[in-house]
Amino acid sequence: MKYFSKQRQENFFNVRIKSSGGEFSAAQLGAIQTLAETFGNGKIRLTSRQEISVPFIEEKNLANVENFCAAHDLEICPLGATLKTVTACQGSEICRSGIIDAPKIAREIERRHGGKIFPTKFLIGVSGCPNNCMKVDANDIGIVGAVKPIRGDSCNFCGACAKVCPVNALTVDREKNLWAIDENCRQCGRCVKVCPKDLRGEVGYKIFFRNDKIFPFVRGEETLYEIIDTALKNFCHTSKT
Ligand code: SF4
Ligand code: SF4
Ligand code: SF4
């Protein structure tokens, strides 16, 4: 597997360091600084796939860079037809809107499929909620955290849930004992957060595929991984090499 891409300048190469679910530790960043100052020209670039790229590495230093990265917990991105770095937003650990732990899911997909050779490169991204900050639907597979609201028995038709709905998908009418969600619900979970009674949210995943197929709501993390595993297996069988 190749790890260094040739630059326009003769004898110079570029290396990309993989993030882990969009994250680097401070120690890794320190090591990347040393890498760029020792083997590159001090320049560091960010890539669209949440990697850090270090350019201007001389050919004679490629083996040294590989050794340096191995010694400092820096994973080099392979070139060519592989699963590219799985991108992720900060997700529910940090973001107030977050529904799912996007970095954790990205790491698990990398653990299952990172380093495998595919017919062509394959892109997967994870967004923690329907705000979809990572624009994951531009990937071959995009995963978005979703919440399905489920009304409880003690609803008093106060209407607080309907007031915060950003797309007016909720209709509440105390006189008619009416509480209904229409098809515009974007599964953001805002209504669940404000309910003083027992409106609860079932957490799941919306999955986008490059061929425009969408799974609107998948239940369970293991089911999510099984769908990804199957999609990648099918991709290997149906793609032309
Ligand atoms: S997609 Fe949602 S969870 Fe992720 S950063 Fe954006 S708002 Fe936060
Ligand atoms: S906020 Fe809760 S109690 Fe009020 S109408 Fe909505 S579901 Fe019912
Ligand atoms: S989940 Fe979001 S979009 Fe759906 S009804 Fe609740 S507030 Fe509205």
pLDDT value of residue 241: 44
- Ligand 2 atom nearest to 154, measured from its CA: 3
- Predicted TM-score (pTM) of the model is 0.94
- Ligand 1 atom nearest to 100, measured from its CA: 3
C-beta separation of 128 from 97 below 8 A: yes
Q: What is the pLDDT of residues 138-172, one digit of tens each?
A: 999 999 999 999 999 999 999 999 999 999 999 99
Question: Which of 87, 89, 137, 190 is the best mutation target for the ligand 1 pocket, counting ligand atoms within 8 Å of the beta carbon and taking the most?
Answer: 89
Terminal alpha carbon distance of the chain: 17
pLDDT value of residue 74: 98
Ligand closest in space to the Cα of 22: 1
Q: pLDDT-derived band of residue 212, with 50, 70 and 90 as boundaries?
A: confident
Q: How far is the CA of 129 from the centre of ligand 1 (A)?
A: 5
Cβ–ligand 2 contact at 161 (below 6 Å): yes
The strand pair at 4-6 and 12-17 is best described as antiparallel
Q: Which of 179, 174, 178, 123 is nearest to 150 (CA)?
A: 179
Domains (range + CATH), the chain = 4-71 (3.30.70.3340), 81-241 (3.30.413.10)
Residue 12 to residues 4, 175, 238, Cα–Cα distance (Å):
9, 74, 37
